[in-house]
Amino acid sequence: MTVREIKPGNRGFLYVNCHPQGCADVVDDLWRRTPGPVAAAEEAAAEEAAAETGAGAGTGSGAGSGAGAGTGSERPVALIIGSSAGYGLAATVGALRTYGMRGLGIAFEAPETERRTASAGWYRTARVAELAGAGSGFAFLNADAFSAGAKQRALDHLAERYGRVDHVLYSVAAPRRTDPATGEVHHSVIKPLGSAYRAKTLQYEGDTPTVGALELEPATEAERAATEQVMGGADWELWIEALLERGLVGEGFRTAALSYVGSELTAPIYRAGTIGAAKQHLEDTARRLHARLAPLGGQAHTVVAGAAVTQASTAIPSIALYTGLLRAVLGDGFRSTADQAADLWRQLTGAAPLRLDAEQRVRLDGWELDPKVQEEVHARWAAADPGSVAGLADTEWFRAEVGRLYGWHVPGTDYTTPVETTVPWPNGS
């Protein structure tokens, strides 16, 4: 056991150390924001009643569950790949709190060392497991999801305990991937395609927000292909094929991979860049998997989520400024990952119909891409400069949200006293 006084040690949006209690408090807040089974059932019933009276299915953020969610031996079984951060974390909390799902979450997190705390995802996972309780039937595996070994261990666990999987959520963001078949290491890059990209970025000079400019040269074909291999659908497809080979997929199986489209403002570096090429690969994979699963009564879709402050998104140029502007426009209408995960689970469990676009993607981002919202964000983007950005974008909110990713800037957390940093990984996995 190690009690330490911890300092953030951050450089911009990157933090060297994480605060264990702050990370736990972030999970507690997420848990409180996620509907429990009673609230979910009531909301599902209200939506069904509205549909019967001709009001149509709701598109709100509430989470709903089918009858008896979270009870009995037939609780759904979920495999959540990327369960320790962002949408994967929110989906894991929703699976446990709202639906009482059994299953397995997979994350690749760093343990504590003599010089540094464990990673934020390590502490968040430990707290999620504590809140779920020892009898939840949900375990956590700390492993590289890209590896064949992780797949073997995960599928052995699921086969031995449940014999089936009802839901697979894939929410992985990583800088590199080793191809398990060839051993080749692919590195992802964040670059435009075709031509150089120059745009505004949100920066901080000390505590003062300012606007800078960034220029990136276009990616090579090799960089585009490597990014597809890391962030596209190759690994997701390997997971589903492995489940099929083990006979763990049955009637009603649904799998979804998280994606993003975003605004025209960020398109050159995102949707029209190397990341966008990877997302297109992910969507092409979804269509192929859907055709593979349909004869078995299964489905596969990508999920277009709305904007969020995540460890992955803060690495993308211009996203910080865009997200701060979006938050200033929407205020409390900015939907959290908890809101969006609740909406997604309603659709995946059948409590609400799947809302699919023309490309068969589940859409959760209507609140962000509303034309009136985007018109105002575009106007603020054009006007933003070092002197005006603090009044146009919610820069304090954004900075606090980045800190929360590492357990800092969490209201109610005591940062003045030493804290226990040695926290065991749950389930001994």
Rounded CA separation 82/305 (Å): 15
The contacts found for 179-184 with CB under 8 angstroms, 24 or more apart, are 179/229, 179/234, 180/146, 180/147, 180/148, 180/238
Token output for 362: 């589940």
Q: What is the side-by-side strand order in the sheet with 249-260?
A: 138-142, 102-107, 77-81, 165-170, 249-260, 299-305, 362-363
Query: Crossing angle of helices 120-132/20-33, nearest 10°?
Result: 50
Place of tokens 């450089």: 11
**Are 2 and 419 within 8 A, CB to CB?**
no
Q: Give the ranges where 219-306 is alpha helix by DSSP (H).
A: 221-231, 234-245, 274-293
Does residue 85 come out as left (phi exceeding 0), alpha (psi in the -120 to 50 range) or beta? beta
> Which of 87, 162, 270, 322 is an active site residue?
270
Q: Give the CB-side neighbour count of residue 289, counting CA atoms within 13 A.
A: 31
- Radius of gyration, CA atoms only, the chain: 21
Rounded CA separation 92/88 (Å): 6
Place of tokens 């990877």: 278
Place of tokens 């549909």: 51
- Our answer to whether residue 270 is catalytic in this structure is yes
Angle of CA points 287, 307, 280, to nearest 5°: 25
Catalogue the active-site residues: 270
